[in-house]
C-alpha cells in the first residue's frame, strides 16, 4: 500500500472541505438553464464563477454551428491530426485566429492546457532559460517543468524583479523566454506588458503571453491585454483558450515566427492528442465571429464588472487591485473562506473558492467571474447576498 500512501494528504483535504458542508471540488450542476443560471442541489442558482465572459455558450448561432458540424462531420475525429489528418475546419480556424492577432501562423490544440504544454515543451529544451511570473497558471509551470529548461521565477508583475533575473543571466538573456499572462485569473490584475516588452527588447529575449482570460475582454477588437496596451507587434507568441470568452473547449498558439509551423513536428501534446471534435471547432469559429462583430458584448461585460467591483468595495470587502471581469475578495484563512463560500451556495450564488496552495499567496479568496449575459438584476442580487453574509467575517477582522 506504500504506493498509495501519497493520497493520505489529499484525503485529509477532502475531509476538511466536506466538513464545511459542500466540497467545492464536487459541486454538480444538475441543470444548466442559461449562461448565468443553473440548478444546484435543487436550488435556482446564479452562476457567478464560470469564466463565461461573453455569455456565448447558449448563443443561437454558436449552437447551430455546432449542431450542423455534428450532422455533417460526425461527433469526433477519433485521433490526432498527425495520424488521422486535419479536418478543413481545423485549418480554417487556425488561419482565422492568426489573422485576428495580425500574424501569419497559428496552431489549434485540443485544450488550453495542451496549448501551453505543447508550445512550451517545443520552444524550450534542457539548458534553455525561461523567466516565469510567480503567479502564472499551472499549465505554464508544467510546460516549463516538462521542457527541462532552467526556470527563473520573478515576483508577480514586478518588472524590477524580472530585470534582476535578466541581468543575472548575462549573455543567456538573449536566448531566454519570458512567460506571463495578460489577465491573471485569481485577483483580476493585468500584466504591465509595456514595461515587460521594454525589457524583452533591451535584453534580446522572446516573450510569450497567455491571453486565456483576456481574449474577448481587452483591446479595441478583443485580442487581449497586449492589444489594450499597444504592444501586440512585440509579442513573440500568444497562447489562449476557447473555454472562456469563446464558450467551448480547446486552445491555440499564434505567432509572427514561421517556426511555429514546425512545432507540429516536435510537440508531443499536439502529436499524441486527439484533435478537437467538429462541433467544438465550428462553435468556436462562430464565437470568434460574434466576438469581432458584437462589441456590445464587451460593453455589457465591463458594465457588469464595474458594478460588481464597486458593490463589493462599498460593502467593505477587500478586492483585487483593479476593475476587471475577475472580481475576487480576500478572506484570509481557509477556515473563514470555506463557510462563507458554503453560505453563498446555500443562498443561490455559485462562486469559486481559492485556497492555498491554489491561491497566489497564503490567503484564501472568493472569486467571481462576470459575464456579459448577467442581467442588472442578477448583479444586484449577487451584491445583496454577499452583503447579507458580511457579518460572518466580523470576527476575522
Per residue in 121-147, pLDDT (tens digit) is 999 999 999 999 999 999 999 999 999
Q: Is the pLDDT of residue 396 over 80?
A: no
pLDDT attached to residue 204:
97
Query: Crossing angle of helices 88-100/278-293, nearest 10°?
Result: 30
- The whole-number average pLDDT for the span 37-62 is 97
Q: Is the pLDDT of residue 1 over 80?
A: no
- The whole-number average pLDDT for the span 307-315 is 97
Lowest-confidence segment of 23-27, 340-344, 377-381 by average pLDDT: 23-27
Whether residue 202 lies in the annotated active site: no
Q: Is the pLDDT of residue 37 over 70?
A: yes
pLDDT attached to residue 34:
98
Catalytic residue among 90, 105, 213, 374: 213
Of 339 and 18, the structure prediction assigns the larger pLDDT to 339
Q: Considering the chain, what is the average pLDDT of its residues?
A: 95
Exposure letters 368-390 (e unless 16+ CB within 10 A, then b): bbbbbbbeeebbebbbebbeebe
Whether residue 347 lies in the annotated active site: no
Whether residue 44 lies in the annotated active site: no
Give the tens place of pLDDT for each residue, 217-269. 999 999 999 999 999 999 999 999 999 999 999 999 999 999 999 999 999 99
Catalytic residue among 110, 139, 185, 214: 185
pLDDT attached to residue 394:
60
Under a CB-based contact definition with an 8 Å cutoff, are residues 181 and 190 in contact? no
Kindly list the structural domains of the chain, giving each domain's residue range(s) and its CATH number in brackets, ordered by start. 21-50+295-396 (3.90.1150.10), 60-293 (3.40.640.10)
Q: Is the pLDDT of residue 14 over 90?
A: no
CA atoms within 13 Å, Cβ hemisphere of 211? 30
Q: Is the pLDDT of residue 395 over 60?
A: no
Grid coordinates given for 327: 472580481
pLDDT attached to residue 378:
98
pLDDT attached to residue 96:
98
Give the tens place of pLDDT for each residue, 68-103. 999 999 999 999 998 899 999 999 999 999 999 999
Q: How confident is the model at residue 308 (pLDDT cuts 50, 70, 90)?
A: very high
Under a CB-based contact definition with an 8 Å cutoff, are residues 30 and 348 in contact? no
pLDDT attached to residue 178:
98
Q: Please tell me the pTM assigned to this model.
A: 0.95
Give the tens place of pLDDT for each residue, 273-296. 999 999 999 999 999 999 999 999
pLDDT attached to residue 355:
85
pLDDT attached to residue 397:
40
pLDDT attached to residue 359:
81
Catalytic residue among 22, 90, 137, 244: 244
Residue 23: exposure state from Cβ atoms within 10 A (0-12, 13-18, ≥19) = middle
How many Cβ atoms sit within 10 Å of the Cβ of residue 33? 13
Q: Is the pLDDT of residue 189 over 80?
A: yes
Amino acid at each position: 500500500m506504500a504506493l498509495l500512501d501519497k493520497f493520505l494528504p489529499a484525503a485529509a483535504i477532502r475531509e476538511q472541505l466536506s466538513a464545511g458542508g459542500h466540497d467545492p471540488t464536487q459541486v454538480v450542476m444538475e441543470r444548466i438553464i442559461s449562461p448565468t443560471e443553473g440548478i444546484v442541489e435543487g436550488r435556482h442558482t446564479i452562476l457567478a464563477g464560470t469564466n463565461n465572459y461573453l455569455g456565448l455558450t447558449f448563443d443561437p448561432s454558436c449552437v447551430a454551428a455546432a449542431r450542423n458540424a455534428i450532422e455533417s462531420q460526425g461527433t469526433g475525429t477519433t485521433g490526432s491530426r498527425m495520424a488521422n489528418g486535419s479536418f478543413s475546419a481545423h485549418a480554417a480556424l487556425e488561419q482565422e485566429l492568426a489573422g485576428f492577432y495580425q500574424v501569419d501562423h497559428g496552431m489549434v490544440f485540443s485544450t488550453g492546457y495542451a496549448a501551453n504544454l505543447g508550445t512550451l515543451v517545443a520552444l524550450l529544451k534542457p539548458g534553455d532559460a525561461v523567466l516565469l511570473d510567480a503567479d502564472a497558471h499551472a499549465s505554464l509551470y508544467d510546460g516549463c517543468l516538462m521542457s527541462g529548461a532552467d526556470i527563473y521565477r520573478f515576483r508577480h508583475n514586478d518588472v524590477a524583479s524580472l530585470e534582476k533575473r535578466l541581468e543575472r543571466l548575462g549573455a543567456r538573456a538573449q536566448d531566454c523566454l519570458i512567460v506571463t499572462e495578460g489577465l491573471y485569473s485569481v485577483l483580476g490584475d493585468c500584466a504591465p506588458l509595456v514595461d515587460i516588452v521594454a525589457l524583452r527588447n533591451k535584453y534580446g529575449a522572446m516573450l510569450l503571453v497567455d491571453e486565456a482570460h483576456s481574449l474577448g475582454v481587452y483591446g479595441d477588437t478583443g485580442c487581449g491585454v497586449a492589444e489594450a496596451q499597444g504592444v501586440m507587434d512585440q509579442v513573440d507568441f500568444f497562447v489562449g483558450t476557447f473555454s472562456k470568452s469563446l464558450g467551448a473547449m480547446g486552445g491555440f498558439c499564434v505567432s509572427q515566427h514561421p517556426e511555429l509551423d514546425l512545432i507540429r513536428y516536435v510537440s508531443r501534446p499536439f502529436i499524441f492528442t486527439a484533435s478537437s471534435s467538429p462541433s467544438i471547432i465550428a462553435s468556436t469559429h462562430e464565437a470568434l465571429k460574434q466576438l469581432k462583430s458584437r462589441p456590445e458584448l464587451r460593453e455589457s461585460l465591463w458594465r457588469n464588472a464595474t458594478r460588481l467591483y464597486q458593490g463589493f468595495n462599498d460593502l467593505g470587502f477587500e478586492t483585487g487591485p483593479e476593475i476587471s471581469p475577475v472580481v475576487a475578495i480576500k478572506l484570509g484563512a481557509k477556515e473563514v473562506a470555506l463557510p462563507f463560500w458554503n453560505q453563498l451556495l446555500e443562498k443561490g450564488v455559485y462562486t469559486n473558492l481559492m485556497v492555498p496552495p491554489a491561491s497566489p499567496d497564503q490567503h484564501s479568496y472568493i472569486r467571481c467571474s462576470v459575464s456579459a449575459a448577467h442581467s442588472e438584476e442578477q448583479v444586484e442580487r449577487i451584491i445583496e447576498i454577499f452583503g447579507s453574509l458580511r457579518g460572518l467575517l466580523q470576527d476575522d477582522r
